[in-house]
Structure 1
Amino acid sequence: MSLAATIYNNLFRRNFVMVGAVMGGAFAADIAFDVYSQRFWDWKNQGRQWKDIRQKYLLSEDD
């Protein structure tokens, strides 16, 4: 059996299975996009974000 026939028989033959596969794929793509866009943002703005410069502006307990 070819790969295309296997995919058709397992995913696209029944509507509810196809909808579930599409929804699961969309959910996974959304999470992946969020993670990689956050990493890119942090990489491009390194040293300019509050999490990077917080120690310069917060007073320690000794002061």
Structure 2
Amino acid sequence: MGLSNTLYNTIFKRTSTYTLAMVTGAFLFERTFDLGTEVLFERLNEGKLWKHIKNNYEQ
């Protein structure tokens, strides 16, 4: 019960800290998901993107 009491007293007891935790969590999730999908997209399309093949077409 120590962890749940500590979590309740630090985050969930006040509406302002709960809201701040939710906004911070949403921001961090969005950034992590965006970076992860960008890496996955570039890995799946290796050699097909303009930045990978532009030296073939530049003078």
The structure in which a higher percent of residues are helix is: 2
Give the TM-score category using the shorter length.
over 0.9
Q: TM-score, length-normalised on structure 1? A: 0.91
The aligned residue for residue 19 of structure 1 is 19
Residue 9 of structure 1 corresponds to: 9
CA apart distance, 1:16 = 0.4
Q: Aligned with 2:21: secondary structure?
A: helix
Render the CA deviation track for 1:6-46: whole Å, top value 9, x for unaligned: 00000000000000000000000000000000000000000
Q: Structure 1 CA distance, aligned partners of 2:17 and 2:32?
A: 22
Name which one, 1 or 2, has greater alpha-carbon Rg.
1
Flag structure 2 segments of 5+ consecutive residues without an equivalent. none
Q: Which amino acid is the alignment partner of residue 33 of structure 1?
A: F
Unpaired runs of 5+ residues, structure 1, are none
